[in-house]
Amino acid sequence: MTDQSKILVTGASGFVGSAVIARLKAEAGYLPVAASRAAIAEPGELEQRRHDLENPSVLPTLDDIGVIVHAAARVHVMRESATDSLAEFRRVNVDGTVSLARAAALAGVRRFIFISSIKVNGEQTADGCRFGADDVPAPQDPYAISKYEAEVKLREIEAQTGMSVVIIRPPLVYGPGVGANFKSMMRVLLKGWPLPLGAINNCRSLVGIDNLVDLIIATLEHPAAAGGTFLVSDGVDLSTTQLLRSLAAALAVPARLLPVPRPILERAAGLLGKGAIAQRLCGSLVVDMTDTCNALNWTPPVSQNAGLKATADDYLAHEHP
């Protein structure tokens, strides 16, 4: 095993980064190196290096690294305190990423895998349409804009240095340990609160953490991954109503969903200043990962039902033991 088998994972304490580290530890032939702002409590042996995306001068040693999986990012901030949100996202997600990538190219890193976002494509798809990797990007919020601008800069570095850049754009990622809105959905379902979401006929793509990590592992060495942009999902798309029913079944509780017509729900949400939330709940966002599967000879290894069950079981064990 050579030093160039070392895989540096940034954001190693985060939801995606920690899952990548766990998978790499189980894989033969790879040595994971965790890069994060603070030390990670790790029961087993795990090499750790400090990396602060918000401070470009704090870079990990890269001379012995073969591949970087860059999962660190400034993500959505529920209560934004920055006076210029876009500038702050750019400072971290663009400038921090560029600083790391340039250092990686100078150190001889072979491949830089960037975990981007499907929001680079846009916020929603029209009925019967799917996002593709070759679509004209249409990022709308500061987070998505920063991810797109980072992608552009990485392609420039790739052209200038020859370091292979792989871009992965996942939709909503769920799995054991998930937080944010997905965790909130499980909490509300367990409480038995009625939800006015029983008649939402939209269509949304999701990706389980195990499927996303499996794709990341597939791109570590695959020659067809070089220079590619890959969309990913579970391969099964659900309406919001179907997702809530599936989650409730996984939690072994009834889904108390009221069939409120979508126009009424959207109008009420708008009056309450919750139009953006209604858009996410009622709008469609579907990805086409045909090119991903064909290029990498890859299919999602974990069924969506199994992924939702694992997510629910973990939540019940840790949040409602």
Q: Which of 143, 148, 174, 315 is catalytic?
A: 143
Nearest in space to 256 (alpha carbons), one of 265, 245, 269: 245
Per the annotation, the verdict on 143 as an active-site residue is: yes
Between the alpha carbon of residue 15 and those of residues 75, 139, 216, 255, the distances in Å are 12, 23, 14, 27
With beta carbons less than 8 A apart as the criterion, state whether 291 and 283 touch: no
DSSP class per residue in 33-93? EEEESS----SS--EEEE--TT-TT-----TTEEEEEE-------TT---SSHHHHHIIII
Nearest in space to 235 (alpha carbons), one of 136, 307, 179: 307
Between the alpha carbon of residue 261 and those of residues 185, 198, 238, 270, 282, the distances in Å are 20, 8, 18, 14, 10
Structure tokens at 26: 């189980």
Question: How many angstroms separate the CA atoms of 191 and 187, rounded?
Answer: 6
Active site residues: 143
